[in-house]
Amino acid sequence: MSLAALNISKHFGKTTALDNVSLEVKSGQLVALLGPSGSGKTTLLRIMAGLDFPDADCGARLLFHGRDVMDLPARKRKVGMVFQHYALFRNMNVFDNVAFGMTVAKRSERPSKAEMAARVEELLAKVHLSGYEGRMPHQLSGGQRQRVALARAVALRPEILLLDEPFGALDAKVRKELRKWLRAFQEEEKLTTVFVTHDQEEALELADEVVVMNNARVEQSGSPQEVYDHPASPFVIEFMGNVNLLLRGRKKPGTQPTSLYVRPHDIEICQYVSGHTLEARVLHVFSAGSVGRVTLEYLETGEMLEAEVPRSEVDAMKLTAGQLVGLRFRHTRVFAKKDQQRQELVEVPYQHPGDAPQAEPAS
Amino acid sequence: MHHPGVSYEGKSVSRAARDPLWSRVFLIAGALVFLGVLLVLPLATVFVEALRKGLGAALETFANPDARYAIWLTLLVAGISVPLNLVFGLAASWAVTKHDFRGKSLLLTLIDLPFSVSPVISGLFLILVFGVNGWFGPMLNSLGLQIIFAVPGIVLATVFITFPFVARELIPAMESMGREEEQAAVILGASGWQILRRVTLPNVRWALLYGVLLCNARAMGEFGAVSVVSGHIRGETNTVPLHVEILYNEYNFVAAFAMASVLAILALLTLVAKTMLEWRIQRLQQQVVLERTRHRDPALVGPQP
């Protein structure tokens, strides 16, 4: 079932939680809502679930398979949801938790006791918790609770699954294992899934499409690769992983100041300085691991850079602190203000020294 | 109450951190004397005075029809006002903790009003509203309904006085539960009634019972407000506390204290039940703490034994 949330605005008093946000999810896709806390991603998820409502006058629409469901109460939307802290019913055992949705259904739609038991058994097998029917939530570990919550959420066979920071409360190892498992589960059940996370690694690894949110707005959406390789704004670049920032032309009057972003693994270190490289000094080399992390000082401005190069190169060049090296940037993003008055940023081209006839436009 | 790490018997507390012996003895003795004079002694006096002329004389009190009526009336008033306040308290705490709305803090203040207003004032207020010369007096009179100096007035006064007890116990319990479980239930298709019955109530049942217990104790023991609206008509509008006062003023000490011991026994039973409930609630809370610590346990994915 496809899902579309269109023109969603939401204010809590004077704070803006969502500012005209639109989002479309194709049937069977897994979409990650990625952003820092307070960016509005959880509010958007709750609006889809029917636990929150958009502002009355924003013309918001919520379409499930083309049908507007905004006026349907949460209990009739037939979505599955997993809460950040799972929200298992603490007074019920695992069986009753998973069966809850079936037991509160209208008598005419309620499955028989035997059907219920069969469905619970099937679900618990899927989440690898067979034999745990009688356990109470407080007798389960975090990862087990998470899977009970998931089994409960899909017990009524929803076609849309909403997950709010599903791995937030788990430790790193469990999180990685559950991630793979969730992806397989989602594909098998053909669930259209939206999940909220603030972990960019999780979003990139799991999602078919990543929607980056910031300050109540969507900054960018696209496939993980698109978002990672072609970030649309400085915010997205910084949010998607480690990045170096070089500010240029700040002090020169008459020139347009720009911000140059380069990821550590896009910096190439050359043993000799030439017309095709930027000059830098090695400050520190950290090479315990498969990649060497090198801290550098860019001599022209004194700015610090972090580079990641293969161990073999670190060893071959015998990089040590104090050594002068040349740098080349394989891939950069440069942003400048559109004009002097406005704050809006546009991307400007960047040319590496020696690569083209004219000098760098910005400095 | 045990405080981990601050055990006075334990050797973990350094000598310097301890109070000197004389000060501990002084404080504990002071507290015991205080408790003895103000609590134990009066309570013991009630029973001693009641039995001064023997058990038979004390029991004779309950043969008196007015005394029996007072007990029956007290049970009736509690029997009406406790269920009413159970429903009101539940509705109020549900509204306050599970929903956001304008005027929420005003509602919270209003719930506490009976605690802060003197019971006599509450009684006078009821007379002002429902009395013969009150706002609704003429209308009620023409309908042939009497509220003040009759049982309905006593019930109204008791309901007003005991209103906060259930809500005050339930609000913190519901607050600590959060809203996520209810929201999960909504998404699974449960109706409001199903959520209340199957999710909310089971989680706050001990707090609810505790509130009902306190509410009941107060409903049976209330004097001030009931005294103002009752009119002290023997065999008609006298509850147990009022009857005690009348008997005492008539120098009928054995009967007065025998009636009073009924209330005292009720108080003691309430105390025992309350302690048991507190013990139970504490254990539940420990379980929650345990749950939170377990939360961080690494879980294994895959089939487990």
The answer to whether B295 faces chain A, any CB pair under 8 Å, is: yes
Orientation angle between helical segments B151-177 and B119-130, nearest 10 degrees: 120
B241 token code pair: 């506390």
Contact B299 A181 (CB under 8 A): no
Does pLDDT of B11 surpass 80? Answer: no
Contact B301 A142 (CB under 8 A): no
B101: distance to nearest CA of chain A, Å? 13
Q: Tell me, what's the pLDDT at A120?
A: 95
Q: Are A190 and A29 in contact (CB under 8 A)?
A: no
Q: Which residues of B touch A138 (CB under 8 A)?
A: 287-288, 290-291, 294
Closest by alpha carbon to A3, among A52, A49, A66, A53?
A: A66
Contact A174 B301 (CB under 8 A): yes
Single-letter code of the amino acid located at B292: R
3-state secondary structure of A245: strand
Fold that domain A244-348 belongs to in CATH: OB fold (Dihydrolipoamide Acetyltransferase, E2P) (2.40.50)
Domain boundaries, chain A: 3-239, 244-348
User: According to CATH, what is the number of the domain B54-288?
Assistant: 1.10.3720.10
Stretch 51-110 of chain B: residues touching chain A, C-beta under 8 Å? none
Per-residue pLDDT of chain A (363 residues; tens, 9 = 90+): 899 999 999 999 889 999 999 999 999 999 999 999 889 999 999 999 999 999 988 888 999 998 999 999 998 899 999 998 899 999 999 999 999 999 999 988 899 999 999 999 999 998 889 999 999 998 998 889 999 999 999 999 998 999 999 887 788 888 888 888 888 889 888 899 999 999 888 899 899 999 999 999 999 999 999 998 888 888 999 888 889 888 876 666 666 778 888 899 989 898 888 878 888 999 999 887 788 899 999 988 888 999 999 888 888 888 888 889 998 888 888 887 766 555 566 777 676 666 654 444 444
Single-letter code of the amino acid located at A326: G
DSSP, res A34: E
3-state secondary structure of B291: helix
Q: Are B182 and B199 in contact (CB under 8 A)?
A: yes
A298 token code pair: 């860019």
Contact B288 A138 (CB under 8 A): yes
User: According to CATH, what is the number of the domain A3-239?
Assistant: 3.40.50.300
Contact B298 A89 (CB under 8 A): no
Question: Which of the four pLDDT bands, split at 50, 70 and 90, describes residue B140?
Answer: confident
Orientation angle between helical segments A113-126 and A94-103, nearest 10 degrees: 130
Q: Tell me, what's the pLDDT at B297?
A: 42
3-state secondary structure of B172: helix
Q: Which residues of A touch B300 (CB under 8 A)?
A: 143
Q: How many CB pairs under 8 A join A and B?
A: 105
ipTM exceeds 0.90, yes or no: no
Q: Are A309 and A329 in contact (CB under 8 A)?
A: no
Least confident of A91-100, A254-263, B78-87, B224-233: A254-263
| Run of H or E including A291 | strand A291-298
Q: Tell me, what's the pLDDT at A257?
A: 77
B161 token code pair: 């006085």
Q: Tell me, what's the pLDDT at B293?
A: 56
Within 8 A by CB and 6+ apart from B6, the residues are B13
A82: distance to nearest CA of chain B, Å? 8
Does pLDDT of B72 surpass 50? Answer: yes
Q: Are B296 and A141 in contact (CB under 8 A)?
A: no
For residue A89, give the nearest of B181, B291, B297 by CB distance.
Answer: B181
Q: What is the mean pLDDT of residues B168-187?
A: 92
Q: Tell me, what's the pLDDT at B294?
A: 52
Contact A81 B184 (CB under 8 A): yes
The answer to whether B144 faces chain A, any CB pair under 8 Å, is: no
B304: distance to nearest CA of chain A, Å? 7
Within 8 A by CB and 6+ apart from A22, the residues are A4, A5, A6, A7, A8, A218
B154 token code pair: 């006593």
